[in-house]
Amino acid sequence: MRNKYFIVLAVIVAIMLMSIPAAAETSSSPESSWQFDFTPYLWLAGIDGDVRIGRFSSGGAEASITDIFQDLNGAFMGTFEVHKGRWGILFDAIYFDISGTAETPDRAIGNINTELSMGMYSLAGTYRLVEKPLALDLVAGARYATVSADLVVEPGKYPNILEGRSVSDSMNWWDGFVGMRGLIPLSKRWSLLGYAELGAGGSNFTFQGIAGVNFQVAKHFIIKGGYRYLMIDVEDNLFVYDVQIGGPYLGLGIVF
């Protein structure tokens, strides 16, 4: 069964952003003191994929960035990193709750209302492989994720058949992941950011990529913007969560 569209959206925090200042002159060295970076921001993402519980499916989930605030029930996000010299530790927390309606081509079955919530909590270690002329880090860690979905069928042509029918399911899993990130200074204030990551474990496969620009507006503040893409493929018995999420992000890094 294929739906015309399914409105789902996520406002979440992008992970693994660079914690060093934008200027090459302020890059940390192996002998430097402790540095901390807290980055709250919004990820305005569209989604494409499938959320399925048994034979009930979103049938090609699809949503644009303009649907963001219409279907968002709640969200929180934040990234915190600490590092000294070449070593660092990063923690990221993501949670969102969204809802939407999927149209069905079969008149015997009404639209499917869906509520979806997801949390991702990552802890990783970082190691600076290259210091100059660009900063290049190895990132490796573990991630705990949880997803729950409620699908409710509206009355269709024959309301007595499936009227009020609903299904709910949830799953959680652990993944290991490894990635690389780099920061290329362009000037004293501007720099380019790149990040790529692969993961697996409880999921079949995950991939994440980030391309961004950082602008240091003050000693302790960095504006961060760019594009982030996340792909998740996981299934547990009758519950399938196979989605690709991508869109621009914008946030403020607080460095101290």
Write the pLDDT tens digit of every residue in 45-103.
777 888 777 766 554 555 555 455 566 677 777 899 999 999 999 998 888 887 766 55
For the chain, the structural domain boundaries read: 10-255
Enumerate the β-bridge partners of residue 234: 241
Instruction: Give the pLDDT confidence of 195-236 residue by residue, as tens digits.
Output: 999 999 999 999 999 999 999 999 999 999 999 899 999 998
Instruction: Give the pLDDT confidence of 26-40 residue by residue, as tens digits.
Output: 344 445 689 999 998
pLDDT of residue 49: 80
Q: Is the pLDDT of residue 145 over 90?
A: yes
pLDDT over 90, % of the chain: 43
Please give the model's pTM, rounded to 2 decimal places.
0.76
Average pLDDT over residues 170-188: 95
Residues 183/134, Cβ–Cβ less than 8 Å? yes
Q: What is the CATH superfamily name and number for domain 10-255?
A: OPCA outer membrane adhesin/invasin (2.40.128.100)
pLDDT of residue 236: 86
In single-letter form, the type of residue at position 231 comes to M
